[in-house]
Structure 1
């Protein structure tokens, strides 16, 4: 660098490589709105403090992992992006926002009608919509029912309604008409065996309770040492 060589030439002479990046703004976005990867935030911040044609001195990274040099070859003044380059994106965003606003207004009107006691079919009829019955479980995730929407549905009481987005951005209004609890995931033999086990446990508890009551009533004393001696194995 002291000989007047450029950063690229000096890097090459010392076995390193200079990396050219840009155009890029202070938020790491390129001219077309794409994200420019590979630029540390501290390096980008330092670059925007330099003038066009200016080079930095050796600067150590904050994490002490090495040093970097900067050379700003061109500064592009801020300006609105040409309409022809963003027209399609602007139109798509406007249409999406307009659709969301319209759908949101319909959802609000339907949910207001439901809150006043109207059946779902009646509340949706003015908007040319008809209820579609569905039997759901907590695992019924699909393009229509997201996990978030299912969690809302299973959190409300019978007769209540919830709304949420589908996978493609549309809106769903769900009314819980009926709640059924799933059958136990075990067979009848297992249920019978469990019943016998509970019965045996219950009988054992009754016997133990009766024996304890008798001992208490008649002041029965148990000499455990004598019992152990009587039933001990002979030498």
Structure 2
């Protein structure tokens, strides 16, 4: 069975990657790099509409990462206007200096009243892998999970910075339960900002394979995981 290397970067949403950090990412030669919901957010805009004005600057930083890292970047998320001119929260998918596609968040939070519900696909094939994407509150969307199960997905990426209200232990139980029920690998990456806890983790059907410790909830953490799949790797 093939093994996929997935790098997770629990990142401060307001800080760019340094040259040393970019070199560290590239050295791992992972198939995927996951960045948290809300990264990058350098301009600290007060509203999604104001943040959307900096769409190009955010995307440029992701392309800067792609200059040295050759894998697929699940580029966090930022606000932008879609083809219909509606404001959405989007996760760019970048590879080899190309912005390949977007996943638009399906379940904007209560603080995102301006944001339109996304209508993009939730399943993608990149880097030889067929996988699902969830941003923030999408983790609670039963319809998306049912689609993942019907399609026989093995790997789901969760780009997170939502305020769930769960404790550290409750978070572990929550993701462990979903992974076991769905028989899927869930790789979650969290952002650090304004006191939100960073609880990046890797849940497999057998339990929690890796997690950020309690003492690291407010710390930038870089980890490369090895995930073994049965059928959905095409390289």
TM-score range, shorter chain: under 0.3
State TM-score, norm by structure 2.
Answer: 0.17
State TM-score, norm by structure 1.
Answer: 0.17
Instruction: Decide which structure has greater strand share.
Output: 2
Instruction: Decide which structure has greater helix share.
Output: 1
User: Greater RCO between the two (CA within 8 Å, min separation 6)?
Assistant: 2
Larger radius of gyration: 1
